[in-house]
């Protein structure tokens, strides 16, 4: 039997590229939380929400209209993490925390807030950086990328990227590198309140950069 041509074998059976291995990969599909992930809830959010404008992706999204409604997921602690999520808020209000990267003691390392004027605030430890007004609007779906680096003093880093689609902006809309957070990140939370109908979808966390259109 003639020896097989290796290039022909590769053409017939091309190698399969493996997708990224996320610390958190949640799409809120099926019943409850998918990918066998355990999330802890407060104020009974609906993780199987499908009323317009949901689903934001797939067939279901996560929703809460309760005061302080949230769900969080623990992951392996890291000095540096990247996170991503898709959100829609029916009615914007001031100073509403909507997304958080936390430590194992549940302290916020990077909190993302929305405001009534469409601006967003990133709070890294006790340092707050505001984006311009009109970045987001009532009932409009938007995408966020959050980056956190643990500091050794007044030098922790936080970055917030916001886009109307899944293309990551070339530079962040809010950034700081002088905050005082010195603990590892090990928890991500999506949140909502009783005045806005907060919807989330496609939450990702990784220990490497998350770029545009994450899987």
pLDDT tens digits, one per residue of 10-56 = 445 555 555 689 999 999 999 999 999 999 999 999 999 999 999 99
CA-closest candidate to residue 141, choices 112, 161, 162, 168? 162
Asked if residue 74 is part of any domain, the answer here is: yes
Asked if residue 198 is part of any domain, the answer here is: yes
CA-closest candidate to residue 51, choices 199, 203, 202? 199
Asked if residue 87 is part of any domain, the answer here is: yes
Per the structure, how many domains does the chain have?
1
Q: What is the pTM of this model?
A: 0.91
Are 202 and 212 spatial neighbours (Cβ–Cβ below 8 Å)? Answer: no
Asked if residue 10 is part of any domain, the answer here is: no
pLDDT, one tens digit per residue, over 146-171 is: 999 999 999 999 999 999 999 999 99
CATH of the domain at 41: 2.60.120.200
Per the structure, the complete domain to which residue 35 belongs is given by: 19-205
**How many whole angstroms separate alpha carbon 128 and alpha carbon 122?**
6
Residue 69 token pair: 């409604």
Asked if residue 161 is part of any domain, the answer here is: yes
Coarse DSSP helix, strand, coil percentages of the chain, rounded to the nearest 5 percent: 5, 45, 50
pLDDT, one tens digit per residue, over 63-92 is: 998 888 999 999 999 999 999 999 999 999
Asked if residue 8 is part of any domain, the answer here is: no
């Amino acid at each position: 039997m003639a020896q097989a041509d290796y290039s022909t074998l590769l053409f017939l059976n091309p190698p399969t590229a493996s997708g990224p291995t996320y610390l958190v990969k949640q799409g809120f599909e099926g019943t409850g939380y998918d990918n066998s992930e355990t999330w802890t809830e407060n104020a009974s959010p609906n993780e199987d929400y499908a009323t317009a404008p949901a689903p934001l992706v797939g067939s279901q999204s996560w929703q809460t209209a309760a005061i302080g409604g949230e769900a969080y997921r623990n992951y392996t602690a890291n000095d540096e993490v990247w996170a991503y999520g898709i959100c829609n808020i029916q009615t914007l209000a001031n100073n509403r925390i909507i997304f958080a990267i936390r430590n194992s003691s549940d302290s916020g390392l990077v909190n993302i807030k929305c405001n009534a004027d469409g601006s967003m605030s990133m709070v890294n430890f006790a340092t707050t950086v505001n984006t311009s007004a009109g970045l987001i609007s009532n009932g409009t779906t938007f995408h966020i990328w959050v980056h956190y680096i643990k500091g050794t003093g007044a030098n922790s880093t936080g970055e917030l990227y916001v886009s109307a689609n899944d293309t990551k902006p070339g530079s962040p809309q809010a950034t700081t590198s002088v905050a005082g957070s010195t603990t590892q990140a090990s928890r991500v939370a999506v949140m909502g309140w009783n005045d806005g109908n907060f919807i989330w979808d496609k939450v990702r966390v990784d220990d490497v950069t998350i770029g545009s259109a994450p899987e």
